[in-house]
């Protein structure tokens, strides 16, 4: 549940995000329900192999971590936003939007940003101006 105080959020590239913090944000955001939160080696590999790890901290660069975005990209043509998660205590305060903005800033105008949304977040991405893609295809992971 979000509090009502204004949120000063600081977003930055943090490739060394500790796996414990990644796991905590996934759990506290609710996204942990569909991420391998009990498999730390797999979570660590998700961080290590990511091309862009963004962290949102409340109140400034040394503040509490309240959000994470993780992308796979070549920084030249395309990027896949594999995780965007904001802790429940900070949802609705602009943190998700700030992470999305920072991801676009880091990627630049030559790079398209694609993602798979959970049904509950579709309105968020629509609000952010992202376009639905009808002709997208994927193989589901099997474990």
Ligand X SMILES: CC(C)(COP(=O)(O)OP(=O)(O)OC[C@H]1O[C@@H](n2cnc3c(N)ncnc32)[C@H](O)[C@@H]1OP(=O)(O)O)[C@@H](O)C(=O)NCCC(=O)NCCS
Binding residues for ligand X, rule: CB under 6 A, are: 29-31, 84-86, 91-97, 117-118, 120-121, 123-124, 127
Least Å from the CB of residue 68 to ligand X: 9
- Nearest residue to ligand X, using CB? 96
C-beta separation of 64 from 28 below 8 A = no
Shortest approach of ligand X to residue 29 CB, angstroms?
4
d(CA 50, CA 71): 6
**13 or 118: CB nearest ligand X:** 118
Give the residues across from 68 on adjacent strands: 55, 85
SS3 content of the chain, % helix, strand, coil (to 5): 35, 25, 40
Q: Which is nearer to ligand X, 53 or 85 (CB)?
A: 85
Q: How near is the Cβ of 109 to ligand X at its closest, in Å? A: 22
Q: Is 76 or 84 the residue whose CB approaches ligand X more closely?
A: 84
Across 1-143, where does the E strand assignment appear? 9-13, 52-58, 64-73, 78-86, 112-114
Cβ nearer to ligand X, comparing 19 with 121: 121
Q: What is the smallest separation between the CB atom of 85 and ligand X, expressed in angstroms?
A: 5
Cα 124 to its chain centre, rounded Å, is 13
């Amino acid at each position: 549940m979000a509090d009502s105080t204004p949120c000063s959020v600081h977003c930055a590239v943090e490739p060394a995000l500790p796996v414990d913090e990644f796991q905590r944000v996934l759990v506290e955001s609710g996204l942990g329900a569909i991420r391998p939160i009990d498999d730390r080696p797999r979570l660590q590999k998700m961080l290590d192999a990511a091309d862009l790890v963004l962290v949102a901290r409340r109140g400034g660069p040394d503040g509490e971590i309240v959000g994470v975005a993780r992308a796979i990209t070549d920084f030249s043509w395309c990027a896949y936003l594999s995780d965007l998660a904001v802790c429940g205590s900070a949802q609705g305060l602009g943190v998700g939007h700030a992470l999305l903005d920072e991801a676009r800033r880091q990627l630049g105008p030559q790079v398209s940003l694609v993602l798979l949304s959970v049904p509950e977040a579709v309105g968020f991405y629509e609000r952010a101006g992202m376009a639905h893609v009808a002709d997208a295809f994927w193989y589901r992971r099997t474990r």
